[in-house]
A and B are shown apart, each in its own frame.
Chain A
Amino acid sequence: MREVAIIGVKNTLFGEQWDRSFRDLVVEAGVGAVEDAGVAGEKIDSMFVGNMSGGQFVEQEHIGALIADYSGLAKNLHVPSTRVEAACASGGLALRQAICAVASGMDDIVIAAGVEKMTDVPASKASSALAAAADREWEGIMGATFPGLYAMIARLHMHRYGTTSEQLAEVAVKNHFNGQFNPIAQYRNTITVDAVLNSIMVADPLRIFDCSPITDGASAVILAPADIAHEYTDTPIYVKGTGQASDTIALHDRRDITTLEASVVAGRRAYEMAGLGPKDIDLVEVHDCFTIAEICAIEDLGFAKKGEGGKVTQQGETAIGARIPVNTSGGLKACGHPVGATGIKQAVEIVQQLRGEAGKRQVDGAEIGMTHNVGGSGATAVVHIFSRNR
Chain B
Amino acid sequence: MSVPRFWRKQIARYNLVGTYCKTCEEYFYPPRNVCPSCRREGEIGEFKFNGNGELVTYTVIHAAAEGFEGQTPYVLGIVQLEEGPRLTSQIVGDPKEMHIGLKVRPVFRRLGQSGERGMIYYGTKYVPA
Which residues on A are within 8 Å of B, measured CB to CB? 124-125, 127-128, 131, 135-145, 147-148, 151-153, 155-156, 159, 200-206, 248, 250-253, 257
Contact = CB atoms under 8 A, between A and B. Distances in A.
Given A143-B74, A200-B62, A203-B59, 19 more contacts: A127-B63, A128-B65, A138-B30, A140-B1, A141-B111, A142-B90, A143-B64, A143-B112, A144-B65, A145-B63, A148-B59, A148-B65, A152-B78, A156-B100, A202-B63, A203-B62, A204-B95, A250-B88, A252-B56
Question: Interface of chain B, helix or strand or loop or mixed?
Answer: strand
A256 to B, nearest CB: 11
A138 to B, nearest CB: 5
Interface of B: 1, 5, 9, 30, 36, 56-68, 71, 73-74, 76-78, 85-90, 95, 100, 111-112, 121, 123, 125
A202 B73 CA distance: 10
A141 B1 contact: yes
5 contacts: A140-B65, A142-B90, A145-B64, A152-B57, A257-B78
A204 B30 contact: no
Contacts, number: 105
B78 to A, nearest CB: 5
Contacts of A248: 36
A203 B60 contact: yes
B76 A148 contact: yes
B56 A131 contact: no
Contacts of B125: 142
Contacts of A127: 63, 65-66
Given A159-B100, A252-B86, A142 B63 contact: no
Contact of A137 (B9, B62, B85): B9
B56 A156 contact: yes
B83 to A, nearest CB: 14
B61 A159 contact: no
A155 B74 CA distance: 16
A251 B57 CA distance: 11
A152 B58 contact: yes
Determine which residue in B63, B67, B85 has the highest number of CB atoms from chain A within 10 A of its CB, and name it. Answer: B63
A139 B88 contact: yes
B68 A143 contact: yes
A201 to B, nearest CB: 5
B57 A143 contact: no
A200 B9 CA distance: 37
Given A143-B65, A152-B78, A137 B1 contact: yes
Contacts of A155: 57-59, 100
Given A252-B87, A253-B86, A144 B76 contact: yes
A361 to B, nearest CB: 31
Contacts of A200: 62
